[in-house]
Structure 1
């Protein structure tokens, strides 16, 4: 749980599951996360070898992309199971409003 614990790490990994993304793409997909939190979580995920960070170019503007490592991809079945469980729970007990689940 240390590797993916907390509010945002699993969400970030989920958004990287299909393709690499730039920082601003992740921000747009997760508008509720602050820039500082996203930056910190990406650094921690990189330190834990779940996410890789590739820098293209030598001087600004440079391109930085994040993607799942092979180790990070081993979490995909777990992330899919959590997503399926959350969707099932929302259908059974609540309703989804703007991507968030509101329990009745």
Structure 2
């Protein structure tokens, strides 16, 4: 049995109900250190909840599940459940939208790195 969220269907439903602006989505995900870390691990090939918990010391399963639910609603990840009776196997994978979203996070990381290295001025020039 496979139970997966359909990001295309979710996007259509969101559009009918008033789509979530991408900026609000970015703020919601980037505002949580665990969401960003989970997405990074997912991009690196991690799929199973137990593997995510091992890779994130200090992350509780409750908070992890809350983060996954949010990312499922946004269509960033999809969830697959294999098996019909316990113990079932659950996997999380990035959707095509999630892969593109991860590109935004990578650009934020590169921008921060450039600022940290002093390659970009962080102050505005004085008004004339």
TM-score past 0.5 threshold: yes
* SS at 2:44 equivalent: coil
SS at match of 1:74: helix
Structure 1 unmatched runs, 5+ = 93-104
Going by fraction, where is helix more abundant, 1 or 2? 2
The normalised TM-score by structure 1 is: 0.73
State how far apart, in whole Å, the 1-side matches of 2:39 and 2:24 are: 14
The corresponding residue for 1:10 is 36
TM value normalised by structure 2: 0.61
In 2, are the aligned partners of 1:20 and 1:68 still within 8 Å (CA)?
no
Q: RMSD of aligned C-alpha atoms? A: 2.1
Is the Cα–Cα contact under 8 Å of residues 17 and 68 in structure 1 kept in the other structure?
yes
Which of the two has greater strand per residue? 1
Pairs aligned (count): 91
Post-superposition Cα deviations, 1:42-96, rounded to whole Å, max 9, x if no partner, equal 011011100100000101111100010111000222222334455663xx5xxxx
